[in-house]
Amino acid sequence: MSIDHSDPRSPVIVVAGDLTFTTAGPLRTAVDRVLDGRPAVLVLDFAGLLFIDSTGLSVIVHAWREGQPAGTLIRLRGTPRFLTTILDMTGVSSLLARPAPAPSAAVPEPPAGSA
């Protein structure tokens, strides 16, 4: 795993090899550190990914969930076909496609007396 911070608005975490129960922890920690900077976009590059298990998949969902409050979009790059299939079958693809809310978007209250 490596992290490219050359564009602070869109850092890239490159993941290679197997993303499993034994290797997901460091990626989750890296995702949390990067999201602390509240980037507009976090790119997860999986071009070198060879295998992923459910724990690895949960890190992708974790990134999306943790990025939501700041409005950070999670983008996947270099996604191998097997990962695309898993993301589609589990519904994670549609989850990632949801737009992130604006970081400071407050829901306006309706005017008094309106129903």
pLDDT band, very low/low/confident/very high, at 59 (cuts 50, 70, 90): very high
pTM, two decimals, is 0.84
End-to-end CA distance of the chain: 53
The pLDDT, as a whole number, for residue 98 is 78
Bridge partners of residue 52, in order along the sequence: 19
User: Is residue 43 included in any domain, yes or no?
Assistant: yes
Q: What is the residue range of 69's domain?
A: 2-97
User: Is residue 108 included in any domain, yes or no?
Assistant: no
Average pLDDT, integer, range 54-60: 97
Beta-carbon neighbour count of residue 78 at 10 Å?
15
Separation of alpha carbons 28 and 34, rounded Å: 10
Domains of the chain: total: 1
Give the pLDDT confidence of 4-56 residue by residue, as tens digits.
999 989 999 999 999 999 999 999 999 999 999 999 999 999 999 999 999 99
Strands (E), 9-105: 12-19, 41-52, 73-77
Q: Which two tokens stand for residue 57?
A: 């998949």
CATH number, domain of 88, equals 3.30.750.24
